[in-house]
Amino acid sequence: MKVKNRMLGNPITVELDTSVTEASTLMKEHNIRRLPVLDKGKVIGIITLSDLNQAAPSSATTLSTHELNYLLAKTKIKDIIPKKQKVITISPEKYIETAAKLMRENKISGLPVIDDNGKLVGLVTETDIFDAFIDILGVKRDHTRIDFYVSDRPGAMAEITGLVAQKGKSITNTVLYFDNKKNMYRMVLRIEELNCDDVIDALKDRGYEVESVIIHQEEL
């Protein structure tokens, strides 16, 4: 799955001369927490809800409501945008796992999506990534999750998928990762049925160590 399949297209943006009041209003109206900042059509940063909150006067201020509103209206994005902010962007053709890795490495929650012409075409956030992985894993559908260990040997995956097929069942998805503690691969197998006793028994008969079985059923 690529970034272009999950990003928010045509994101709301602000300019350097946009006031803090205007930016705050945009966030509230569109229920968003970040705004790409443009300068002559180029993304030069991102302003978050946290940035706007920090720009607001303390609750202990003696200023009147009128004075507060006037102050925020006079304060521009260029006055509060982090001076040395490093803008991390991503291409719409990159895969979502690349976006997730970039966010994790740079400790950020959103990435402007820039096409080959340098144009801002979208915004992908941590929420978009979470939703994508939930869909990829198929956890919203009724299924049985079987966790078991697999030794590193040729043909293991073919044997497992063949075994499930022999039982007349469909695999929703599989996840395989190395477990350092066990020094073996751990496989998460999701099957699109709630009764998978025959598959579990077959796995055990073939020598696989089944660690856990979870039946997931969406509430009606």
Whole-number Å distance between alpha carbons of 212 and 146: 6
Task: Tell me the whole-structure pTM to 2 decimals.
Answer: 0.74
- Do 154 and 144 meet the contact criterion of CB atoms below 8 Å apart? no
Return phi, psi of residue 202, to 5°: -65, -40
Whole-number Å distance between alpha carbons of 171 and 189: 7
- Residue 22: name the closest of 74, 65, 82, 87 by CA: 74
Whole-number Å distance between alpha carbons of 4 and 91: 8
Each of the 220 residues of the chain gets a pLDDT tens digit; together they read: 899 999 999 999 999 999 888 898 999 999 999 999 999 889 999 998 888 887 665 444 544 455 566 666 678 899 888 777 788 999 999 999 999 999 999 999 899 999 999 999 999 999 999 999 888 877 778 899 999 999 888 889 999 999 999 999 999 889 899 988 888 999 999 998 899 999 999 999 999 999 999 998 766 4
- Do 96 and 1 meet the contact criterion of CB atoms below 8 Å apart? yes
The CATH class given to the 3-134 domain equals alpha beta
Q: Assign domain 141-216 one CATH number from 3.40.50.620, 2.60.120.260, 3.30.428.10, 3.30.70.260.
A: 3.30.70.260
Q: Which residues contact 132 (CB under 8 A, 6 or more apart)?
A: 1, 5, 6, 96
Task: Give me the residue spans of the domains in the chain.
Answer: 3-134, 141-216
